[in-house]
Structures are given as structure tokens and as C-alpha cells.
Structure 1
Amino acid sequence: MSSLAVPVQPLEPDGQVTSLPVRTQARSVELAAAQQAAADLLVALGVDLSGESMAETPARMVRAYDELLTPRDFDLRTFPNDEGYEQLVIEREIPFRSLCEHHFLPFVGAAYVCYLPGERILGLSKLARVLELFAHRPQVQERLTQQVANWLNEHLQPKGVGVVLVAEHLCMTLRGARATGSTTVTSALHGLLLNDARAREEFFTLAGIHH
């Protein structure tokens, strides 16, 4: 089973609006088998499925997980940086949700994504699309953060990239430690955002992460 999405054509030469299609590779999904497995799991846990309100619960569970594991296709549109913009571009508080691969419970939060343009600038909605691309699969937050930063650094070729994720993990707040209200913060940096302390501090300050 795979939920990877991959670019299928290279970017065009500079000076043009370009579009890089990112298409999700099909996962092998057997909904009927998954629904039966969900029903078996609930029954094994002592859940009574005989009532009318619970009869469709296994099917709803399967549809919910299938949605959480399926990112949407998108086109990575970039534009020439005609004005030579050399300051940070920051998208704050992008909501995301993913599945903890250890307990298969959701973790939800907000992302702060930044890049320092090189020769190309990016359609802003695509920052959220790239985040969704990697969030819609079994994950750990550390890997998710790094994957988003690496992908943008590779495909946009900016002068710097910064990604910070702040998330609540239900596997920690609903069970186990039951640390209600706790959040996990992870970061990944490339280029000037990694190597230049002033650029890094500007990102954190403008994104409001210190707060």
C-alpha cells in the first residue's frame, strides 16, 4: 500500500508560469474487507453493534480512516520572481491532521511554513497542499516536519526553508499519560534559515512562534 505522491514532469525554464503535477499513487484499498475487520475489532473489544445507531459504525470508521490516508492531487504552480523579492514568505497556522503510526490515533495542529525565494515564487495555497501530501499517511511528527521541508527545498530550490509544526497527539492526551492540553513542537530548516541566525530569528518572530 502506498500513499506517496510524485511529480510527473519537470519545471519549465525560468520566466514562465509553471505547473508541476503531483499525483497520488493508488493505494490498495479493500473497503469491504476493512469494514469486516473493523466490525471484528469492535466486537472483540466488547462493543455491541446490534443497535440501530451502531450498525453502520464499522463502515463509518473505514471511510474516516480512508479519508485520513488519502491526500488530494494538486499542481505545484510557480512563477518567476520578476521583482527579485528577497524577503521571507510565511504561511502561518495552516491546520493539519495526521495519524500517529504507533496507535493510529489522530494528531492535529498547525503548521508554520516559510521559504526565502530564489528564482521562483510559489502559489501560496500549495504550501498547505504539500503539508497535506505528507500528513495523509501514518506518521510521526518529526518525520512529517522534515518531509515537508525537504520536499519544498528540492522542488522549489529556494534560498531557505523553515517548517514548524505544533500539534496535539490524542495518543498522549486521551490515553497513556493523559496529558490534556500538551502540544509537541518540531522544526526543520534548510539553507539560510538553518545557517543564518538572523533569518532564523526573523522567521520565528514573524510567525509568532515565540508566543
Structure 2
Amino acid sequence: MSAENTKVLFEKIIDSTGEDLQRPGLLDTPMRAAKAFEFLTSGYTQTLEEVVNDALFPSDSNDMIIVKDIELFSMCEHHMLPFIGKAHVAYIPQGKVLGLSKVARIIDMFARRLQIQEQLTTQIATTIQEVTNASGVGVIIEAKHLCMMMRGVEKQNSTMKTSSMLGSFRANPSTRSEFLSLLK
């Protein structure tokens, strides 16, 4: 959908509130909102091949690699309100490692879609497993959900944590424990 089509939809939404679209503060809001929404859902236009861009490198390392505190934002598919937090990703390579920035780019590709945190966590883990052929992958996401903070139960300090453990992170408790202890 084009930004121009989305602009018309935002005009309808704003109009439905009873606001005056000709009010100076709102004149450009529908297009600004359309462009923002286009960015917030830009993950739909990306492919994994574009994101990884051949940034897989040969490596003899078979020790755990952890990238932690990767900021993320997404939009709850139930209320279309943001959730904001951080992801921690670990994997144990088998012959190749993924370029460091590509971990964050994979997270962004999936996060910039209408999403639930549980699925986002699984998508990231599964994708890193597929791309690297790692012997194990662990992903933990901690996020605050504006759908819980701004509406419904209105709980300002709640945080949701989700995890996905694949391969040796699921099968081997000591691998999982090492990952969790290194996050502290």
C-alpha cells in the first residue's frame, strides 16, 4: 500500500475522533502518520537474503556467541500499539559465524511487522538457526507493551519476557545456564 493510500485512511481515523483536519496542527498529520506507519511495518518489504547480504564468515569457533541488549520496537498485532524492549541472542557456531550487525537486522526485520512478542522471539531464533546452522540458539526478549500500559489494565511497570531455546540450548541445561548467567 502506498503512503498516499494510507494517508487517506489516517484522515478517516482522525476525522472519526471529531477533530478538525484543517486545524493547523493536523494539516500534515495524516501523511506524517502514513510515513511513520510505513517505516514501522517496513519488515514486510525486506527479505532474509537482503538482510544477511552474504555476511556469513568461516570460523573455527564453537564457543557461545552472545549479543545482548539489542533495542527493539514492534507493534502489537492485537491493538496496533507499540511494544519496546531489548533482545538477547546467543548461538553456538558450527563452521560459520554471522556478521554482528546482521543479528540486529534480523531482529528489526521481524519486529517491524504487526507482531506478538512470543512469535517474534521464535522467528528470530529459528531464522538465526537456519542461517548459521548453529548447534544451538537462544533468544530472550524483554519488553514493555503499551497495550497494557495505556489501555486495559493500565499497568505501567509490567515487563514481558519470552525465550526460545533451540538445539543445544534446549537439550543441554548447562548450555542454557551459561547463556542465562552471562546475561546478568
TM range (shorter): over 0.9
TM (norm. structure 1) is: 0.81
Which amino acid in 1 is paired with 2:170?
A: L
What percentage of aligned pairs have identical amino acids? Answer: 35
2:60 is equivalent to residue 70 of structure 1 = no
Describe the superposition over 1:129-153 as per-residue Cα deviations: whole angstroms up to 9, x where unpaired.
1111111111000001000101111
Letter of the 2:131 counterpart:
H
> What is the SS of the residue equivalent to 2:55?
strand
Match of 1:52 among 21, 24, 40: 24
RMSD: 1.2
- Give unpaired runs (5+ residues) of structure 1: 1-28
Q: In the alignment, is the contact (CA less than 8 A) between 1:91 and 1:113 conserved in 2? A: yes
- Does the CA contact (< 8 Å) of 2:68 and 2:88 recur in 1? yes
1:45-194 alignment runs, 5 A limit: 45-71=17-43, 73-74=50-51, 75-81=53-59, 84-194=60-170
Q: CA deviation at 1:76?
A: 4.2
Question: d(CA) in 1 for partners of 2:150 and 2:42?
Answer: 25
Paired residue secondary structure (1:91) = strand
Deviation per CA, 1:37-74: give whole Å up to 9, x if none.
11111111222322211111111111111001113643
Higher helix share: 2
Separation in 1, partners of 2:178, 2:34: 43
Matching residue's letter, 2:111: A
My pick for the range that moved more, 144-153 or 64-73, is: 64-73
Moved over 3 A (4+): none
Q: 2: distance between equivalents of 1:135 and 1:32?
A: 24
Report the residue type matching 1:32 in the other structure: E
C-alpha distance after superposition, 1:94-147 (max 9, x if no partner)? 001111111111111000000011111111111101111111111000001000
8 Å Cα contact 2:129/2:136 also seen in 1: yes
Runs of at least 5 residues in structure 2 that lack an aligned partner in the other structure:
none
- What is the total number of aligned residue pairs between the two structures? 178
